[in-house]
Structure 1
Amino acid sequence: MKPSLFKLIGLLAILVSIASCGKKDQDSKVDPAFGQYISSFTSGYISKTAFLTIHLADASKQFTEPQGQIDMNLFDFSPSVAGEAFWIDNQTIEFRPKEYLTSATTYQIEFELGKVLDVESKFQTFNYQVKTPEQSFEVFVEGTTTYDDKSLVWSFLKGSLNSVDYLSGEEVEKLLHAEQNNKRLKIRWTHDASGKTHYYAIDSVVRKDQAGYVLLEWSGKDIGLDISGNKKYEIPALSDFKMMSATVVQSPSQFIKIQFSDPVKKDQDLEGLIRVEGESNLKFVIEDSEVKVYPDDRLKGNKIIYLTTGIKNIMGSKLSKAEKVEVNFVEVKPAVRISGNGTILPGTDGMVFPFEAVNLEAVDVKIVRIYESNIRQFLQVNNLSGSSQLTRVGRPIVQKKINLTSENQIDYGNWNNFTLDLSKIITQEPGAIYRVEIGFRRSYSLYACEDDTADEEEGDLD
């Protein structure tokens, strides 16, 4: 067999991610026998902005045209949801709510499967549920940045507001207010497309001969949320060059972010001026009033950071006093990711699929075969690593747990490289395309969670 007749597609898909270690609500169980008619469906926790999709295992005779509206009533919600259903293709139906779903709500759904496929009487109605998360938000303050690196008088204070679920820009801009010296300050906003991360810049923050502060106040009252709080962010005196904060960033690479009151002089050598307890070979990156400190190896636990008065700002003034602060290097939460570009051509040494994992003892591998006769149809709507309309052209052939632990002494708390020899779990078929998904379950975690008894959710009938 020539390698050109066989291609293996590796596309990372986190099937069950671990966002936290809290207890999850128990979902109502779905009869797996529906898998002969439904290959997958939208389930579990979803955004209030989400559309709900049903992928049929076979083409429906009721299909009209792509994006064609469906006249018959296929979905029934409790509590009720107004909306419309559309054909995406002859195996995919999408329900689009007319308004956003309600936060913190469980929706019981009845899908009239018997109206779109010929099924046995006991499979006429498919019952399942989805949930929307409870809305909440947090305000984070990053630090000040000067408008002009030749003057320390005027600056802006930047940070972010992060929400659990989608919030519109209009809603977010009602939440936060800022003032200095009893004067309301203008806030500029940049809203991420997800509607969950919103960046702010508080304009016209002034530094004077005496220390002061910017008062940030937030309240969710205007959008129906019982959340409020405030924070005073210190604005040092003009003559006071000082450290404001030190935090640890864990991903994608680990470093310590030190925020100063003033822009830091860029051409100075910080070796010895900034030290980390028990560490050497530190690397430093100066970005305005931030210094990023990169350790030679990943660190764990608590470490003391030392700053000497030799550190200079852009005006040549030295740090007003030496500082000592303790930071905590928290372990990375469990995750998996693909190594390389995800496309592999088999050779004489087999088909080796590389991936990376952290804090996991095992992963789940799922392989979907796209049949040779369907490849043209698949490539009409995909590139080689695509996944659109996959249920029309392929079927799962392998779903398997793969253990990652071994007798080798490696640190599973760091990102490690692993390989999967696919020649040992699938039989190569000339002309076929294979899509590999790697995911994990909560029970595979090596991360120290407070509650390891949390339930898992499943929402795929493949």
Structure 2
Amino acid sequence: MKKQHIQFKTIIYFLSLILILNACKQKSIETVSTQEVSNYITSHTSSQIEPSDEVFFRLSNLKYDQYKIGTELQSDAVSISPKVKGKFIWKDNQKVVLVPDEPLSFDQLYEVKIDLGSFFKDTQLKDYTFKFNTDRLIFDPYNFKLNQLSSQDSDELEFSADIYSNLNLTQENIHKYIDVEVEGKNQEIKNLVLRSPSIFHFTVGPLLKNDKEQVIVVKHDFKERNSESKGERSTKIPSKKDFVVISSEIIDNQKGHIQVVFSNGLKKQQFDGLIKIDNYSGQYKFTAKNNQLDIYVDNTIQGKHTLTFNSAILDKNNNPLKAQQEFNLVFKQTMPQIKAVSSGTIVPFEKEVIFPFEAISLDTVEIEIFKIFENNILDFLRYSKLSDASSDGFIGRVIHNQKIALKNISKKSNKNTWVRYALDLHRLTTLEPGAVYQVRIGFKKSYANFDCKGKDVSEINDTKQSTFSHFRYYNGYSYEHNDDPCYPAYYRRNRFIYRNLLASNLGLIVKEAKNDHIKVFATDLKSGSTVQGVTIKLFDKQQQLIAEKKTDGQGMVDFIDKPSGLYVVAKNAKNYAYVALKNNLSNSMSPFEISGTSHQNGIAGYLYGERGVWRPGDTLHLSYMLYDKKNTIASSHPVNLVVSDSKGKTKFNFSETENSDGLYVFHVPTNTSDPTGQWSATARIGNHTTSKRLKVETIKPNRIKVDMEFPNDEIDVSNNEAFKLVASWLHGAP
């Protein structure tokens, strides 16, 4: 009995051990190290997106399979909660995207669950989950204006406004979201245009002034995808008899630009002394057009000020302003910003590699340099352009991080003024030939020269791990924080500079022709001259070397019959150049005539005329040039030319044997009664044909303006008077 009890306990321990081991094998990816995660998933959707943004994740080290691209994943491979109508598809060999039937809901937390076992059969990990929030609904009508439609009629006005929104507004659906009423009557919204990614502009009118003042009301009340918006704003249309200031607003703080709208058109007058801003002693500049007055003041002005309009201001009918008017304006501080002042990836250099940028309202910036190693460039170009700001840890890493006080670069203050700065990358790090360096310039709240007095931000802590890490939510976050420098949400990647640089003096042009013919041209970017002896390597899509040559005296290399060539790498001493031969990266040729002529068995022909357009009745002098590389055609072989008019009727058919070194000449007569339009000419020699379109048009003759001047109202032939005749050519603009 005791022996059986021991055996039973042994079985229990053994089963427990199996369960524990099995649990270890099925552990969640969220419990493993970051290094283990990166072996399977390199990137995915950030934590905060617009409902219309792409939901994706990118896997790593998958075998290439071109047939799966564009196909739908199995339902158990990935899921999203709350459930979204749509499907997950392969966008490329590594990237999976969600294709929803309609945009995602506003202000919603989503969770994407990925079954790693569906993609990696040898993994011990099971599921990986990432979450993201969509932005809340934004719908804010603002910037109301009343403008005169013409300078002659002050009583006919047009109302315009802007809408700040993350909805996809169109002329067809705008009435679903907003109503504009004048004294209770609904008005038609016209000319809806998108001025920027989130700002829409529309107009209403014409609106006529009445004997009494009228009220324009803009209101909205709707529900849309898990959110709702409701609001109402109004402005007034003054009466015919009143000359008043309708509105006054700051258009651009940085430029000190104020825009004022009057009820009537303005008389040409001096506004100095008639318009004043309290506690401001700087200069004014005025620009008036119809009923709109633009005022420019110094950009150093800040804070709350009162703008006063004197009643002595006159409209175009000399009517004075109804009464003195005052408007309260708030000149905001210029928000801390940086911007790149140049573009492109390849930077020619000698001893210095200069990186210029501009900053405003900043004391300090943070510089980070991400190095994409030379031996990883082809892997980088597999899914990216050379200019793409990738942070893939498989191809590179951060090699330098430094905080730089801007006063150490330039003593000039950037308070409310853009100031240009320049960095020499050679002083920051050692630049390895052939490597690509991503220069990142960012900033934090503590680096900004911005006053946050009056705002309680003491309870808000920035959750970002570093300046350049992705934005993370913090307690107390609100969407309005995205545009407020007093909050951490303002300091995001989209406000920073990310630019890839390849320090090289070598330029590369690659041309692909028919029959898998690739031509490569190498030039010196500093002098523009061709470079001889440059090593040009051609790689296929598996990054295997398939050809290697050196440029000739013209800086050129020919690769013939290389259909699998996808990457071109050039090297000359310490100078490198890279080109990915992808169709979507080639320069567009659509604006140019590049059809040229094609050879048929080594034979080519070219048909041309002595001019580009003829009139009916002219003789068309056409020439045909024959190129016979192998001399397979006898010099006495005839060339037949057929010319048809615009209606398809044959007007000329003649065979010519006489030629001079393959140049045949034809003289084609026409009649004045022949139809105009596109004629056609076809030259044939053997089985080879060459065609050309001919323009036969009626051209207006030169015109002369004639004026004859008479000294008296009556002409007396007996006086033998002389008259002056003036003639001028009407030739248009010189």
| Common fold by TM > 0.5 | yes
Task: Tell me by how many angstroms 1:312 deviates.
Answer: 3.7
Q: CA 1:203/1:226 → structure 2, altered by over 3 Å: closer, same or farther?
A: same
User: Residues 242, 82 of structure 1: CA spacing in aligned structure 2 closer, same or farther, 3 A cutoff?
Assistant: same
Provide the residue aligned with 1:273 in structure 2: 274
Is residue 455 from structure 1 mapped to residue 462 from structure 2 by the alignment?
yes
Offset, 1:67: 4.6
Residue 177 of structure 2 corresponds to 175
Question: 1:79 aligned to 2:82?
Answer: yes
Identify if the C-alpha distance between structure 1 residues 432 and 252 changes in structure 2 by more than 3 Å, giving closer, same or farther: farther
CA distance in 1, matches of 2:31, 2:297: 47
Distance 1:287 1:382 in 2: 49
**Aligned amino acid, residue 107 of structure 2:** A
Q: Deviations over 1:326-380 (max 9, x none)?
A: 3111112332211234657354552232222334444444434445566678779
- 2:330 alignment partner in structure 1: 328
Change (3 A) 1:38 1:383: closer
How far apart in 2 are the matches of 1:195 and 1:402?
32
Q: Which amino acid aligns with 2:85?
A: A
Consecutive unaligned residues in structure 2, runs of 5 or more: 1-29, 472-734
Task: Determine the C-alpha separation between the residues in 1 that align with 2:96 and 2:123.
Answer: 20
CA contact (8 A) 1:55 1:391 kept: no
Distance in 2 of aligned mates of 1:365 and 1:92: 30
CA contact under 8 A between 1:160 and 1:197: conserved in structure 2?
yes
Q: Secondary structure at 2:176's aligned position in 1?
A: coil
Sequence identity percentage: 22
SS at match of 2:315: coil
| Counterparts of 2:224 and 2:45, CA distance in 1 | 31
Residue 305 of structure 1 is matched in structure 2 by 307
State the alpha-carbon separation in 1 of the partners of residues 362 and 117 from structure 2. Answer: 42
CA deviations 1:77-125 (Å, max 9, x no partner) are: 2222233333333343322223221111111222334544577534x53
Instruction: Name the residue aligned to 1:435.
Output: 438
Equivalent in the alignment of 1:9: none
Could you tell me which amino acid in structure 2 is paired with residue 404 of structure 1?
A: A
Aligned partner letter, 2:81: S
* Residue of structure 2 equivalent to 1:98: 101
Q: 1:368·1:394 contact (CA, 8 Å) conserved in 2? A: no
Task: Answer whether contact 1:79 1:108 (CA < 8 A) is retained.
Answer: yes
Name the residue aligned to 1:262. 264
Tell me the equivalent position of 1:14.
none
Deviates more, 1:246-255 or 1:230-239: 246-255
Residue of structure 1 equivalent to 2:401:
400
- 1:32-78 C-alpha deviation (Å, 9 max, x unpaired): 4334544432112111112213244x442154358522433442222
Name the TM-score, length of structure 2 as normaliser. 0.52
- Asked whether the 8 Å contact 1:42–1:459 carries over to 2, the reply is no
Give the Cα separation in 2 of the matches to 1:399 and 1:36. 24
Contact in 2 for aligned 1:139/1:160 (Cα 8 Å): yes
Alignment check: 8 A CA contact 1:362 1:401 kept:
no
Deviation at 1:213, TM superposition (A): 2.0
Structure-1 separation of matches of 2:274 and 2:34: 62
Other-structure match for 2:92:
89
The answer to whether the Cα contact below 8 Å between 1:175 and 1:219 also exists between their aligned partners in 2 is yes
Equivalents in 2 of 1:419, 1:78: separation in Å?
48
In structure 2, give the amino acid aligned to 1:44: S
Q: Which residue of 2 aligns with 1:286?
A: 288
* Separation in 1, partners of 2:351, 2:33: 42
CA–CA distance in 2 between the matches of 1:347 and 1:180? 64
Secondary structure in structure 1 of the residue aligned to 2:137: coil
Cα distance in 2, alignment partners of residues 193 and 249 from structure 1: 15
Distance (Å, rounded) in 2 between the aligned partners of 1:153 and 1:30: 73
Matches within 5 A, 1:32-431: 32-33=34-35, 34-56=37-59, 58-61=60-63, 63-64=65-66, 67-73=69-75, 74-116=77-119, 121-122=124-125, 124-163=126-165, 165-169=166-170, 170-192=172-194, 196-221=198-223, 225-250=227-252, 253-265=255-267, 268-277=269-278, 278-341=280-343, 345=347, 347-348=349-350, 350-372=352-374, 386-387=387-388, 394-398=395-399, 400-404=401-405, 406=407, 410-431=413-434
Q: Which moved more, 1:395-404 or 1:136-145?
A: 395-404
Is the contact between residue 334 and residue 445 of structure 1 (CA under 8 Å) also seen in structure 2?
yes
Larger CA Rg, structure 1 vs 2: 2
Contact conserved, 1:370 with 1:432, CA < 8 A, in 2? yes
Contact 1:364 1:439 in 2 (8 A): yes
Moved more, 405-414 or 305-314: 405-414
1:212–1:43 Cα change, 3 Å: same
SS of alignment partner, residue 50 of structure 1: coil
Taking the aligned partners of 1:358 and 1:152, their CA distance within structure 2 comes to 42
Higher mean C-alpha displacement, 230-239 vs 148-157? 230-239
Q: Distance in 2 between matches of 1:239 and 1:29?
A: 76
Alignment-mate amino acid for residue 430 of structure 1: P
Cα distance in 1 between the residues matched to 2:224 and 2:49? 24
CA distance in 2, matches of 1:305, 1:114: 68
Instruction: Give RMSD over aligned pairs.
Output: 3.7
Tell me if structure 2 keeps the 8 A contact 1:61–1:116. Answer: no
Q: CA deviation at 1:249?
A: 3.1
Q: TM-score, normalised by structure 1?
A: 0.78
Distance in 1 of aligned mates of 2:92 and 2:58: 9
Cα distance between partner residues in 2 of 1:427 and 1:118: 42
1:132 is displaced (CA, Å) by: 0.8
- Deviation per CA, 1:227-273: give whole Å up to 9, x if none: 333333111122322112222234663322222223444x5443333
User: Would you say the 8 A contact 1:145–1:263 is kept in 2?
Assistant: no
The CA distance in 1 between the partners of 2:309 and 2:203, in whole Å, is 28
How far the C-alpha of 1:417 sits from its partner, in A, is 3.0
State the alpha-carbon separation in 2 of the partners of residues 113 and 68 from structure 1: 20
What is the distance in 1 between the residues matched to 2:364 and 2:333? 18
For residue 382 of structure 1, report the CA deviation from its aligned partner. 7.4
Matched-pair contact (CA < 8 Å) for 2:181–2:218: yes
- Structure 1: segments with no counterpart, 5+ residues: 1-27
Distance change >3 Å, CA 341–CA 50, structure 1 → 2 = closer
Which deviates further from its counterpart, 150-159 or 331-340? Answer: 331-340
Helix, strand or coil: the match of 2:56?
strand
Query: Which has the higher mean CA deviation after the structures are superposed, 144-153 or 91-100?
Result: 91-100
Name the SS of the counterpart of 1:400 in structure 2. Answer: strand
Instruction: Report how far residue 150 of structure 1 moved.
Output: 0.5
The separation in 1 between residues aligned to 2:269 and 2:246, in whole angstroms, is: 20
Moved more, 193-202 or 286-295: 193-202
Secondary structure of the structure 1 residue equivalent to 2:456: coil
How many equivalent residue pairs?
429
Deviates more, 1:296-305 or 1:307-316: 307-316
The AA in structure 2 aligned to 1:53 is F
Report what 2:522 is aligned to.
none
Which protein, 1 or 2, shows the higher relative CO under an 8 Å CA cutoff with sep ≥ 6? 1
The residue type paired with residue 139 of structure 2 is F
